[in-house]
Amino acid sequence: MSTNLKELPAKLDAMELEVLLLLNNPLECIHKKFFNNLRSIRILDLRGTKMKALPESTIGRLTGMEELYLDWCLRLSYLPSKLTHLTRLQILNICTRHNLWKTTLWEGLSKTLRGKLALRDLVTFVGLEHLTVWIIDYSVRLLVELLTASKRLQTLKLWERGALDRLPDLRLYYFGGEDGFPTLVNFMLWQCYKLALLPKLEDGAMAWLK
C-alpha cells in the first residue's frame, strides 16, 4: 500500500512473510540482501514505484513466488535473468516505459548487460495463468513459444505500441487447442494498430474465451 516509503532496510527478518505490498511508493531501490530472509514470499507488488532494477543476487531465491506485479514501474529498465528461477509464477505483469527486451542473452552482451532477462525467457514460466507484457521496441517480435508455453494461461494482455503487425505463424500450432490456449478466458491487444490479420480459429477453439 502507499505510505510514501522511499527506502527499505538493508534486510528484513520475516521468514514467514508471504505477501509484500509496496505499490505506489516512491521506492527507488531494494538492497541486494533484502530478500535473504524472505523466502516465503508468494506475492510481491511493486506497482507504481520508482524502481530502476530488481536485486539480481537475491530475487531468484524467492522460488515460491506466485504473483509478481511490475505495472507502471516507469523507471524500470532492467530485469535480471534470475527471474526465470521463479517457476511457480502464476501472475506476471510487466509494464514500463523503458525497453526491457531489446537485447537477448545470446547476442554478445557487454559485461554490464549479461544476465538481462530476454523476452523469450518468459517461456520458462510454464505455470503462468495471467500474463501482461508491454513491448515498445519495434524490432522485437512476438514468439509463438511465448504464446503457447503455459497450458494454464487464462489471461493474456499485450501492449505492443505498433511493434506487432501479425501474430506469429501458427500453422504448426492449434491456436486455441491443446498446443495453444486451451484455458484462455481473456485475450487483450492494446495499440496493435499494425495488426491486420488474426489466425482463423477452428471450431470449438478457445471455448472459454469471453
Least confident of 45-54, 156-165, 181-190: 156-165
The residue ranking higher by pLDDT, 109 or 45, is 45
Q: What is the pLDDT of residues 70-109, one digit of tens each?
A: 999 988 887 888 888 999 999 999 887 666 655 443 344 4
pLDDT at 164: 59
pLDDT at 103: 46
pTM of the model: 0.79
User: Hey, which residues does 156 pair with through a beta bridge?
Assistant: 131, 187
The residue ranking higher by pLDDT, 210 or 113, is 210
d(CA 72, CA 93) in angstroms, rounded, equals 9
Q: Where is mean pLDDT largest: 35-44, 87-96, 163-172, 192-201?
A: 35-44
Cβ atoms of 123 and 150 closer than 8 Å: no
Collapsing DSSP to helix, strand or coil, 121 comes out as: helix
- Other Cβ atoms closer than 10 A to 8: 15
d(CA 189, CA 37) in angstroms, rounded, equals 39
**In what side-by-side order are the strands of the sheet with 130-134?**
19-21, 43-45, 67-70, 91-94, 130-134, 155-159, 186-190
Q: Report residue 37's pLDDT band, with 50, 70 and 90 as the boundaries.
A: very high
Cβ atoms of 131 and 156 closer than 8 Å: yes
pLDDT at 154: 86
C-alpha cell of residue 184: 484462455
